[in-house]
Amino acid sequence: MPLKQLLVFLSFIVLAGCKNNSGNLLIEPIDESLNGRLITGQGLNPNYYSKKDLFQYYEVANDGALPADSLFSKLNTFISKKYKRTAIGQASTLTIFFYNKSWFNNYNKHIYEAAMYSENGNMEDYHDDLIARIWLVKLNKTTDQYLRYCWFYKLGAESVERKDTVDMKNIFLR
């Protein structure tokens, strides 16, 4: 029995040692298909999903101890490369959630309900795993300017908040 316990302990040490804190952020959609449908509205019940208030969900690995400035820069670079102006242009808001990648959590089971039932799209059961939330709010229908709110979290508590006004051409490069 002690050998079995030793093997389990060593397995945990190996898994903990595999974490890469080099700052090379790995950002992956929790459910790429659902993220696509949440943007286009295709295949979703319009009584529950709005094409004006969009939600997107991602897992982030290797965030390590990145300072808020670096994390802000990397996430905004990711957003600018990921989304097209034409796809987002008609929306009033876009909220993008970044959750800590975990072997033990299956967010995939919960984002559908969060997007449908939660007013702000947050997965309440996984609030402690939330790394960042970026919320873009269109100022009015005649401009391409957005208010950009960014919240960064440490262990579920809001640690840094940023707010600025940005032009759509500066957010979405394509």
Residue 6 domain-assigned (yes or no)? no
- Per-residue pLDDT of 36-50, as tens digits, reads 999 988 888 888 888
Range of the domain at 91: 21-171
Parallel, antiparallel, or unpaired for β 53-61 and 130-138? Answer: unpaired
136 contacts 94 by C-beta, under 8 angstroms: yes
| Cα 80 → chain centroid | 14
Burial of 57 (0-12, 13-18, 19+ CB in 10 A): buried
More confident call, 3 vs 100: 100
- Per-residue pLDDT of 64-88, as tens digits, reads 667 888 888 899 999 989 988 777 7
Q: Give me the amino acid identity at 31.
A: D
Residue 11 domain-assigned (yes or no)? no
* pLDDT at residue number 136: 92
Residue 105 domain-assigned (yes or no)? yes
C-alpha distances out from residue 14 to 8, 17, 25, 59, 129, Å: 10, 5, 21, 22, 22
User: What is the model's pTM?
Assistant: 0.82
| Residue 13 pLDDT level (bands cut at 50, 70, 90) | very low
CA distance 162 to 174: 24
- Kindly tell me if the per-residue pLDDT of 18 is higher than 50: no
Residue 50 domain-assigned (yes or no)? yes
Residues 6+ apart with CB under 8 A from 52: 90, 91, 92, 93
Residue 100 domain-assigned (yes or no)? yes
Residue 30 domain-assigned (yes or no)? yes
Residue 1 domain-assigned (yes or no)? no
Residue 7 domain-assigned (yes or no)? no
Counted domains in the chain:
1
